Chains A and B, each alone.
Chain A
Amino acid sequence: MNARLLRRKVINAVMLALTGLCTAVTTSTLFVILGYLVWNGASAIDWDFFTKLPLSPGETGGGMANAIVGSFQILLLAAAVGIPVGVAAGIYLAEFNPNSVFSFLVRYTADLLNGVPSIVVGIFAWGVVVVPMKHFSALSGGLALALMLIPITVRTTEQFLKDVPVSMREGALALGASKWRAVATVVVPAARTGILTGLILGVARIAGETAPLLFTALNNQFWAKGWSAPIASLPVMIYTHAISPYEDWHRQAWAAGLVLLALVLLANIAARLILSRGANAQRS
């Protein structure tokens, strides 16, 4: 009896320790990565990093101003295309025909699209945009990322709309609102904090994608000459700098990684803040 009790206690303690250890590994990973980036890249982060163009290989100094701006440009295009399409499709799925075969197919397709390897998305954008236009371009990069943003947006929009209570829809309809009016003026506004959060997280998620940009936006050591020219971006810059043989470029790759991670983390924190604000406003 006593031996059994002891055995149980030991097993209990061991399991507790194991799960605790795994939890610690999970949570500390982020901080290890962050620490590693700071350790290797912080020294390369200075005013020049944000304001200067990259120098030629081997020279020390310079910055990644064009890559930072380029990343924002590509994301802007991706958001401008992906968000309206994704939100509209999400509204359709949640509000207008949630149980039709068509909606089922759309939902399924969105999930599959979400799972398509990003390199495949890249080669697709290369095939349909880069090849016909005969050159690499910011446009093709933005469209490739838009393709990745759409399924994320569709599903989060749908989910947050579904969470809006039926009674809210009924309240609007009972006052003589048409279905569309009720959705546009009551249901979507009721879900707006959730949807907004989803959008921020979605954009943050595609911000670090490299594969779809490698042979669409390509890269550029200088400022891009418009949407139909190759453009620099942080992820691709990290890639090219990291595989180069130059010590100073390695440092800059770390720095670029740090900047990218910082931006993504900031977006995440902002999203959480917006969401908790929204929740508080609903409660109080």
Chain B
Amino acid sequence: MSSTPESRVKTAIPAQILPQASDGVQTDLPAVKLKATGINFFYGAFQALFDVSIEFFENRITALIGPSGCGKSTFIRNLNRINETIRGARCEGEILLDGENILGIDVTQLRRRVGMVFQRPNPFPKSIFDNVAYGVKINGLARGKRALEETVEKSLRRAALWDEVKDQLHKSAYALSGGQQQRLCIARALAVDPQVLLLDEPCSALDPIATGKIEDLLFTLKDQCTIVIVTHNMQQAGRVSDYTGFFLLGRLIEFNKTGVIFRTPAQKETEDYITGRFG
């Protein structure tokens, strides 16, 4: 799929600040995994997103930042079509996964490939084990009990939760603390081996140690998947992400390499936000 700056004249991103452009070196361009073009999103009559166009690069971490209510959650919830379940919601524009329109992909298949961790932890009222095993089971991904147990353990380890729960796998997930529940939800999403992982403020309920573990996890996951992370924590965005998009009032104001966004943002609003002058 071609993604030269010229082919994107209709997008909201000025060509001169595109990652590749500022990169200078065109040869190490990562492949585009997920590409959204001209997204307008409506909750009934209320328009929450305005002409958002962005690309997520394979095996890279993209952070989405912006003040509360600017549409970050709304945006990533379009990428796995979970917004379709909201009554009266409507999405315009085009989203391509590996060049294929996501509307043409069977929705259950799409969601298996594009995993999501929600802003608020939402474990199922089941045991810790069954929470992690859920996606594996419904997608028929593990052959036999042994394989299932291995997947569950591996996923819990990756989410930095194994050591805390290994002796109580059959306890209810509700017995866990909020931060543990969030890591459980991360483990649950990882268990189905998604190609893209959407994380909506995954660390907002976590202490610095667990946050550090999750950030380490993101680095190791990069080899296997494309990560989109919404965060309110500027330091976190700076630490973990390769690219950063700044949202404001339903628009993508600026998108670039994280270093560029944090050191030499092109837009005044971006600079104001990252230096803490508002939001």
Q: Are A and B bound to each other?
A: yes
Q: Chain A residues in contact with chain B, CB under 8 A?
A: 99, 165-178, 181, 185-186, 189-190, 281-284
**Chain B minimum-CB-distance residue to A190:** B125
Write the nearest CB–CB distance from A174 to chain B, whole angstroms: 4
A176 touches B108 (CB 8 A): yes
**Chain A minimum-CB-distance residue to B138:** A177
Q: Is B116 an interface residue (CB 8 A)?
A: yes
B122 touches A284 (CB 8 A): no
B115 touches A167 (CB 8 A): no
A175 touches B111 (CB 8 A): yes
B174 touches A174 (CB 8 A): no
Given known contacts A170-B82, A175-B139, A176-B138, what 9 new A-B pairs fall within 8 Å (CB)? A165-B122, A171-B124, A173-B82, A175-B112, A175-B192, A176-B109, A185-B134, A186-B124, A281-B172
B111 contacts across to A, CB distance below 8 A: 173-176
Residue from the set B109, B112, B122, B134 with the largest chain A CB neighbour count within 10 Å: B122
Q: Is B85 an interface residue (CB 8 A)?
A: yes
**Chain B minimum-CB-distance residue to A192:** B125
Write the nearest CB–CB distance from A170 to chain B, whole angstroms: 6
B139 contacts across to A, CB distance below 8 A: 175-176
Q: Is B239 an interface residue (CB 8 A)?
A: no
Write the nearest CB–CB distance from B34 to chain A, whole angstroms: 16
A189 touches B115 (CB 8 A): no
**Chain B minimum-CB-distance residue to A166:** B85
B125 touches A282 (CB 8 A): yes
Write the nearest CB–CB distance from B196 to chain A, whole angstroms: 12
Subset of 11 A-B contacts with CB under 8 Å: A166-B85, A168-B122, A170-B82, A170-B118, A174-B115, A175-B112, A175-B139, A175-B189, A176-B111, A176-B138, A176-B139
**Chain B minimum-CB-distance residue to A193:** B125
Write the nearest CB–CB distance from A274 to chain B, whole angstroms: 15
A282 contacts across to B, CB distance below 8 A: 125, 174
Residue from the set A165, A172, A283 with the largest chain B CB neighbour count within 10 Å: A172
Q: Is B67 an interface residue (CB 8 A)?
A: no
Write the nearest CB–CB distance from A270 to chain B, whole angstroms: 21
Q: Chain B residues in contact with chain A, CB under 8 A?
A: 80, 82, 85, 87, 108-109, 111-112, 115-116, 118, 120, 122-126, 134-135, 138-139, 172, 174-175, 185, 188-189, 192
**Chain A minimum-CB-distance residue to B111:** A176
A171 contacts across to B, CB distance below 8 A: 118, 122-124, 185, 188
**A173-B138 Cα distance, complex, nearest whole Å:** 11
B82 touches A175 (CB 8 A): no
A99 touches B87 (CB 8 A): yes
B172 contacts across to A, CB distance below 8 A: 281, 284
Residue from B82, B120, B123, B125 within 8 A of A174 (CB atoms): B82
A281 contacts across to B, CB distance below 8 A: 125, 172, 174
A189 contacts across to B, CB distance below 8 A: 124-126
**Chain A minimum-CB-distance residue to B86:** A166
B174 touches A283 (CB 8 A): yes
**A177-B82 Cα distance, complex, nearest whole Å:** 12
B85 touches A178 (CB 8 A): no
A175 touches B134 (CB 8 A): yes
A168 contacts across to B, CB distance below 8 A: 122, 124-125
B126 contacts across to A, CB distance below 8 A: 189
**A173-B134 Cα distance, complex, nearest whole Å:** 11
Residue from the set B138, B172, B188 with the largest chain A CB neighbour count within 10 Å: B138
**Chain B minimum-CB-distance residue to A283:** B174
A172 contacts across to B, CB distance below 8 A: 124, 134
A190 touches B124 (CB 8 A): yes
**A176-B116 Cα distance, complex, nearest whole Å:** 10
Write the nearest CB–CB distance from A256 to chain B, whole angstroms: 41
A173 contacts across to B, CB distance below 8 A: 82, 85, 111
A175 touches B174 (CB 8 A): no
**A99-B86 Cα distance, complex, nearest whole Å:** 13
A177 contacts across to B, CB distance below 8 A: 108, 135, 138
**A203-B49 Cα distance, complex, nearest whole Å:** 51
A167 touches B112 (CB 8 A): no
A181 contacts across to B, CB distance below 8 A: 138
B124 contacts across to A, CB distance below 8 A: 168, 171-172, 186, 189-190
Write the nearest CB–CB distance from B136 to chain A, whole angstroms: 9
**A174-B78 Cα distance, complex, nearest whole Å:** 11
**Chain A minimum-CB-distance residue to B110:** A176
A283 contacts across to B, CB distance below 8 A: 174
B135 contacts across to A, CB distance below 8 A: 175-177
B192 contacts across to A, CB distance below 8 A: 175-176
**A172-B139 Cα distance, complex, nearest whole Å:** 11
**A190-B174 Cα distance, complex, nearest whole Å:** 12
Write the nearest CB–CB distance from B139 to chain A, whole angstroms: 5
Write the nearest CB–CB distance from B117 to chain A, whole angstroms: 9
